[in-house]
Amino acid sequence: MDIGIVGLGRMGGNMVRRLARGGVRVTGWALEADVTQSLGEETGFVPPDSLEAMVSQIDAPRVVWVMVPAGAATESTIESLKGLLQPGDVVVDGGNSMFKDSIRHSEELAEAGIGFVDAGVSGGVWGLSEGYALMVGGAPAHVERVERFLRVLAPAPDRGWTNCGPAGSGHYVKMIHNGIEYGMMQAFAEGFALMEHRKEFDLDLAAIAESWRHGSVVRSWLLDLIAEFLDQDAALSGIAPFVSDSGEGRWTVIDSIEQGVPAPVITMAMAARFASQGKADYGNRMLAMMRNAFGGHAVKDAAGEGGQ
């Protein structure tokens, strides 16, 4: 086998499929035995029953690509691989790890003679068919070892992937990418919300989104997705106004503060996500009570009654 993928969720599993379709001899392993078994049958590898068994399937010098959640799962996986791999092998972390952790992982693996590449991966569930945007960091020799896989995973061999610089730079660029994504999403959401509330015009939001896709300066893949789901249900009925965050938006805001470089749009977009999660509720109740205390203004009860 040419490469092994650890973590076979939506991203990792589809990366195995895209690599296999591109002629790469790929194996994979997940904690869930049935997931490993099913994907092995689909793509043609013998399902290993352990991480150690997967490593043994890969031809040396080995490349192992890790696609597990950032944090504890990534830490434990890289620590396990450090004990299983040999000098000259390369570990790729394709999860959403903090770039400072990636710098540390590179240094720790280097002590054992193992290379490290951090890969920011964007593309989501569309990556299988459209290809992934790949932002990688690492020593040139280590990036060169994984380049053939990048060319298969990317939208095209000569575009959609870039070597950003030393270890940590790939995840740093992906972090900023996600911060920009937060700001773009928030701007679209606010604009469409304004139009939705202007009831006297009876605006067809789906038609507007579709028209903007052609020639407008705001045309984008995000707008393509907006047009598609508004065409299905412009009222977004049944959708809770709760927006989660993966962590990279927070890291981008923290980096802005650490560097003293203003990023007001990304920062406010992050705050809007917190508000959607109910984390502004207590503060808003305090605002209502302060207004009542100094001005005698009525407040609404929890049922929404009262107030002006």
For 284, the token pair is: 């808003």
Handedness of CA 241, 172, 154, 188 (dihedral sign): positive
Q: What CA–CA distance (Å, rounded) separates 179 from 252? A: 6
Alpha helices in the chain (DSSP H): 10-21, 33-43, 51-57, 72-84, 99-110, 127-130, 140-153, 169-197, 205-212, 221-232, 248-259, 264-276, 281-295
- Options 181, 210, 258, 279, the catalytic residue: 181
Handedness of CA 258, 259, 260, 264 (dihedral sign): negative
Tell how far CA 144 is from the center of its chain.
Answer: 24
Residue 82 DSSP label: H
For 274, the token pair is: 């917190």
Q: What CA–CA distance (Å, rounded) separates 263 from 111? A: 37
User: Does the annotation mark 82 as catalytic?
Assistant: no
User: Does the annotation mark 181 as catalytic?
Assistant: yes
Q: Mention every residue, 6+ apart, whose C-beta is less than 8 A from residue 22.
A: 152, 153
- Options 174, 190, 199, 200, the catalytic residue: 174
* Nearest Cα residue to 149 out of 53, 37, 20, 238: 20
- Residue with the two structure tokens 């927070």: 250
Question: Would you please indicate which residues are annotated as catalytic (active-site) residues?
Answer: 174, 181
